[in-house]
Structure 1
């Protein structure tokens, strides 16, 4: 048997779900195109930032290795 507490939560949240479905159903193909474009642009920015950050870390590590190698040979 379903507890009364769960039933109350479902009933109290039903208008919000219905409103969300109504809004989503009202989107045109043009609206969906804009939404998808914005989301994909945001994802692209994040992915590019992550890869650039990793590239910067690799280049910094290589630079530090070269500096350390140069300093060791300079001291000898």
Structure 2
């Protein structure tokens, strides 16, 4: 089963996890939004910030400081 078999929400989560895992250090929402090819406007970055926060709350990511995240 590949990534294409996942729902769009899970595909987005997997993309975010790959971006965070491939980073040299902690990432911020703007970094992830840029890597996803989104506009860097508040309306496009805030949903990414919310997803990062949810992933950290659920233990998938580690919050290392205000708005900075690493893969666990």
TM-score in terms of structure 1 length: 0.27
Q: Taking CA–CA contacts closer than 8 Å with sequence separation of 6 or more, which of the two structures ends up with the larger relative contact order?
A: 2
Which of the two has higher C-alpha Rg?
A: 1
| Greater share of helix | 1
TM-score in terms of structure 2 length: 0.29
